[in-house]
Structures are given as C-alpha cells and as structure tokens.
Structure 1
C-alpha cells in the first residue's frame, strides 16, 4: 500500500489528499445534514400544521414559492437588503484583510502577537458575544460620555459629507459602511489567515527578478502579488459571500427563523430557505466564473 502510494503521480496524490481532507465533512453531511435538508425540501411543497399528533402537511405544490416571490413584500425587501449589504461589505472585508495580511507578512518585532490578535475574533466571535460587544462598545459607550464615539452616530459624518457636496444616497452608503466597521473588522480573521498563506507561497525569486529590472514595491504588488493571490482571492470571495449571507443578523435569516418558530409556518419558511439558498448559489456561480478567468497558473 505504501509503495503504491509512493509510485502514484503527484497530481493523483493531490487529488487523494484533497479527498481525505473533505471526507470528514462529506460523512458529517450524509449523517447529520442530508436528512433535514431533504425534509425541508419536502416541507416547502406543503402547508405544515402543528397538531396534537405532531406536524401534518397538506400538499400545496408551488404555492409557497409563488407567494414568497410575488406576494410577500417583506421577503423581497429583506433579500434585496442582503444583496446590497453584500455588494459593499464583501469588497471592504477583502481589501481590509489583504491590507492587514501584507502588513503581517513583513518581519517586525511582535509579529507573532499581532497575527494572533488578527485571528482572535474568529475564535471568540460567537453570535451572542458579538451582540454583547456591539451593544457595550457603541450603545453603552456613547451613553458613558465618550465624546470621540460621536462620529459613529452619523451626524458628524453627515455634516462633513454635506459640506463636501455628496448626495443623500452616497451619504447613506457611507453611514452604512461606518456603522458596520466593527462587524467588518471582526469578520476578517479567516481571510487574513488565507491571504497570509497565499503571500508566503509566492516565490521570492519573482520579487528579486523584478527588483533587478527596476520594479518598485507598488508595481510589484499590482504585477506580482495581486495576480498570484487570485486563487486565494477566489477562495476568500466565496467564503466571505457565504459568511455574509448566513450572518446571524441577516434580515432574511431572521425572517426565516421567525416564520418557522414564531409563526409556526414550517412549510413557508422551508420555501423561503430554498429560495434564499438558490439565490446564493447563483451569485456564487457568477462570482466564481468571473474570478476564475483571472487566476494565474504557475505551470503556464
């Protein structure tokens, strides 16, 4: 067995190692997730009612889906808000993560400590803790008389942007971004780690050769670093999009949860879940096809 593994081509070894890495997830999906997933698909075509004997459903076909798309303004509104938040949230997270990763790649005193700090939010940023921190820092902090936090209230930013001649819509975008700075910072730990791994995988010979040719650090970043990071960029884009859409504070997620457990409409909430997942899958497919063309192959 060992000799056969040694004689295996390198590409086959990579495929085998990749399969072994994802095997625990595949087994977990089959054992714990596939059943509830198929059950929710079944519920989405039924009107589920809670009776003394348990849940009983009446087949209604595509009625739940038609109601969600054409008759439920709340779902469309929350879905549009989710996509709008994603459009400016994902680029901000990626730019911030790449900036921090480039800084942390360089050698300086305390680099290990700063790397640990950058990844710390991933370890402790549970939904409950995140909500407590946001309330304590922004709500209770402003009530405590911290004058510098006034900027987060929006009035200071509004006055500055008004004086600069920005329109109301652009000012609203700026306010939304500033209000989410705390969340964006705390959701960048995984992305920073992945960018760091990608930066260390770039051969140093490329930078040495470009330096000999007179390339400056700014030119090296755009001509070498960024193109070589495109595979990691694609991975981070996919991860960030999924993380944004499944955020505990996402309006669609809250609506699905409330529909199922507050209104006891499991059939309709299942239909909402499948529509939302389908929209996410389509968006991920578009992002993948767009960025895949930019990936640099080292073997070319």
Structure 2
C-alpha cells in the first residue's frame, strides 16, 4: 500500500491517471444461519481461501465479521485449530515477511487478541506462523483505521459484533475494498440481517458475493476486479475482463459530421467484416447503417 500511495501521489502531481491496486482486506460476513446450517463447510471454505498461496492474493479474506454467539466462538476455535495443524507456506520475499509481522504487531498493539501464530515459523527463512486475531465490534469502530491494517499473508482478523446494528457500523467504517462476501442461511433465517448489511457493503467494494470466498476471480466480461480507493486508484476501472479492462488505456474520440469516406472502417456505414457488433441507434447489431 505504501508503494502504491507513492506512485499515485506522483501521478496526481503530474495530473496523469494511474491504474493500480493498493490494498484490500476483503471483508467476509458470516451470518448465524450459515454457521447453524454448515459451519464445518464454511470453515473449510475460509481455510482454503485464506491460506491459498500463503495468503498472498490481493483477494485474500483478511477480515471476517461475525455476530456474537456460541457458534461464532466455535468458528474461532475451529479456525484456530486448523491454523495450528496446517504447515505455513513460504512467503514471496523477506520484505513480505517483515511487512506481515509488522502488521500483526500493529493489530496486537491496538488490542486485538492473538489466538494463534504471530511470529516467524521455526526453521523457515521466509515463513510466518498461520495467524488468527480477533477484536470486538466496539473496539473496531473506535479505531477503524488501525484495525484495517492489511496483514498481507497467512493472517486474518475476526471482528465479533454485538448485534446487526453494530455490524453495520463496522461495515460503514470500512475503506474501499476489492471484494465483500456475505454467507447466509439457505432459507430466510438471515434475510432481515442480509437486507441491512448487503447495501452498506456493496457501497464499499468492487464485487459483492454470496456464499463464496473472494480468492477466485473469473476472467469474464462480467468480472469487476477493482474497487473504491484505497483498494485501487479509481473505482471506475477493472483489471480483469474484456473489454472493460482495456478501456483503462483507451482514448475516447468522437467523429462528428465527418464524411463517410474519411471515417475509420469500423465506423463506416457498411460493416467491415459483416460480423462485428456495433451500437447503432442504441441497438447492438452486425447490420450495416441503413
């Protein structure tokens, strides 16, 4: 994030656009109905996602939001046990290792509870123990900037809110993120909570998901791999998906009353290939201009 902010500041000073990702904790909300129905499956989903690539994905689920309950406590215990029984992977560089341990220290200094991990793994030159931390919703809302510190790597912070209103307060305090996920019951049990949470979350992320973790990014025209600042430098662009991702590097040009013989082939009355889709009178068509 620090390097990205320096690049953005340099570009801003020159009045030039810059397309970059800076940081994202990718909040995952897990509602009580989902834990009641399929807690083990949700734990499996989370473990697979958070430890994939030793947590070094830009869509790594670094923040989990729960409502206070016995099921939430059981989720924390289950993840702690799985973290401890899973061999930590290798980080990309000593710099990533240093940044990760520094971020963990920032979170613990702010009052986060360390459930497991938190330091370098024994016998590995570039590895950190799988790390799980937690804090309350009240503590998060009181100090949101610090508790959103990105611990890039195999670490995650769980926030336990007292009720749905406090959970919404946590979400309202979030910076921009690439993704946001909500796990809920397959019946209507969680619908009331979802209907309050999802609109708040959608304002702060580039991609809103239901019942799936954020690490998978489908390469399709419908994908948005972007988000509000500081997830990226500009919320109107995506790094994945054609043609949208290419538009970052395009210059808009309008040909107004230019004679037909002087137009680029793609704009001529006759379709240059007979198969190219063009927007004519607000309709996508391969037809010639009549």
Q: TM-score range by the shorter chain?
A: under 0.3
Relative to the length of structure 1, the TM-score reads 0.23
Bigger RCO (CA 8 Å, 6+ sep)? 1
Q: Which has the higher helix share?
A: 1
- Rg (Cα) greater in structure: 1
Q: Give TM-score, length-normalised by structure 2.
A: 0.23
